[in-house]
């Protein structure tokens, strides 16, 4: 599915994403063309180390991280620090839509952390888990195209990050107080006025760039779980666990 299939859900966010992708290309701030992606920004490894120096990170033992390329360094850092790592299956395409990774399990299989931290490696060597098999999450790391100091964020426009968080909240695996953070390039930080928040959006508590840590003024109310009114037809068609839950409600 192309990113264009996810456009037109919010024209303001569509325009902002295009602006950020263009700006990053102009400044040659990514490792590849960022258009249509969570940007694999130059300095992602530096930002990951900066995140690891925060109290939020150091106090967390169970971390949920997205599968995108710029957060490979975050996933590797989590494993190196002995944390339990959950990564969503891309596009939530399986009923067991998360994989669990632990350094000890990987060592027993002679799998290098550098390999397991890649999206392909995580899918190959991680343990597929259902929500009932998961521990409560201490810290959530999400992928973003643009972020703001009011806690606003937008991804590629597909809505997977917000959906994953709503599903985890529905299962009480994240709480009202669970911190939500991201690592991005400094060029991805925008004025709050350009990044509107919607009711189903999950705001950021901390933004980490290669040069700074930014504590947000996030006052966005968190969804209590899934809002079936906002589920898109393509999400219902392609995400098996959503269909199962829908039928259970009927």
CATH assignment of the domain containing 232: 3.40.50.10420
Token pair recorded at residue 109: 């299989």
Q: Is residue 221 included in any domain, yes or no?
A: no
Q: Which domain holds residue 172?
A: 3-216+226-244
Q: Is residue 250 included in any domain, yes or no?
A: no
CA-CA-CA-CA torsion for 122, 99, 52, 112, nearest 10 degrees?
Answer: -30
Q: Is residue 249 included in any domain, yes or no?
A: no
Contacts of 28 (CB under 8 A, 6+ apart): 42
pLDDT tens for each residue of 116-175? 999 999 999 999 999 999 999 999 999 999 999 999 999 998 888 889 999 999 999 999
Which pLDDT does position 31 carry in this prediction?
97
Q: Is residue 129 included in any domain, yes or no?
A: yes
CA-CA-CA-CA torsion for 188, 190, 192, 195, nearest 10 degrees?
Answer: -60
Q: What is the pTM of this model?
A: 0.92
Beta bridge partners of 65: 87, 141
Q: Has residue 86 got a pLDDT over 50? A: yes
Q: Has residue 230 got a pLDDT over 70? A: yes
Name which residue leads in pLDDT, 235 or 147.
147
User: 213 exposed, middle or buried (CB, 10 Å; 0-12, 13-18, 19+)?
Assistant: middle
Token pair recorded at residue 24: 């990053």
What is the average per-residue pLDDT within 93-119? 96
Into how many domains does the chain fold?
1
Q: Has residue 82 got a pLDDT over 90? A: yes
What is the average per-residue pLDDT within 205-218? 97
Q: Is residue 46 included in any domain, yes or no?
A: yes
Phi/psi of residue 209, each to 5°?
A: -115, 175
Q: Is residue 86 included in any domain, yes or no?
A: yes
Interatomic CA distance for residues 45 and 69, integer angstroms: 11
The percentage of residues in the chain with a pLDDT greater than 90, rounded to a whole number, is 78
Interatomic CA distance for residues 3 and 18, integer angstroms: 11
Question: Which residue do the tokens 């709480």 mark?
Answer: 175
Which pLDDT does position 153 carry in this prediction?
94
Which DSSP symbol is given to 89?
P
Which pLDDT does position 83 carry in this prediction?
98
Q: CA-based angle 240:170:39, to the nearest 5?
A: 70
* Alpha carbon 64 to its chain's center: 8
Which pLDDT does position 246 carry in this prediction?
87
Count Cα neighbours of 98 within 13 Å in the Cβ-side half-sphere: 25
The percentage of residues in the chain with a pLDDT greater than 70, rounded to a whole number, is 96
Phi/psi of residue 119, each to 5°?
A: -60, -45
């Amino acid at each position: 599915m192309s990113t264009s299939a996810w456009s037109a859900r919010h024209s303001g966010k569509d325009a902002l994403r295009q602006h950020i992708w263009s700006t990053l290309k102009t400044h040659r701030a990514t490792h590849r063309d960022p258009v249509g992606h969570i940007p694999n920004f130059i300095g992602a490894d530096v930002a990951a180390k900066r995140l690891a120096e925060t109290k939020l990170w150091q106090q967390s033992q169970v971390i949920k991280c997205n599968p995108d390329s710029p957060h490979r360094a975050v996933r590797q850092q989590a494993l190196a620090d002995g944390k339990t790592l959950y990564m969503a299956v891309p596009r939530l395409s399986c009923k067991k839509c998360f994989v669990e990774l632990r350094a000890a399990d990987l060592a027993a299989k002679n799998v290098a952390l550098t390999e397991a931290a890649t999206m392909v490696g995580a899918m190959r060597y991680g343990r597929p888990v259902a929500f009932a098999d998961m521990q409560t999450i201490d810290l959530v790391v999400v992928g973003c195209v643009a972020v703001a100091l009011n806690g606003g964020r937008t991804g590629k426009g597909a809505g997977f990050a917000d959906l994953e968080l709503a599903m985890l909240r529905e299962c009480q695996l994240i709480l009202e107080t669970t911190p939500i953070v991201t690592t991005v390039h400094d060029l991805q930080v925008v004025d709050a006025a350009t990044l509107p928040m919607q009711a189903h959006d999950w705001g950021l508590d901390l933004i980490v760039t290669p040069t700074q840590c930014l504590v947000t003024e996030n006052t966005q109310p968190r969804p209590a779980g899934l809002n079936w009114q906002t589920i898109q037809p393509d999400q219902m068609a392609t995400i098996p666990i959503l269909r199962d839950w829908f039928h259970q409600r009927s």
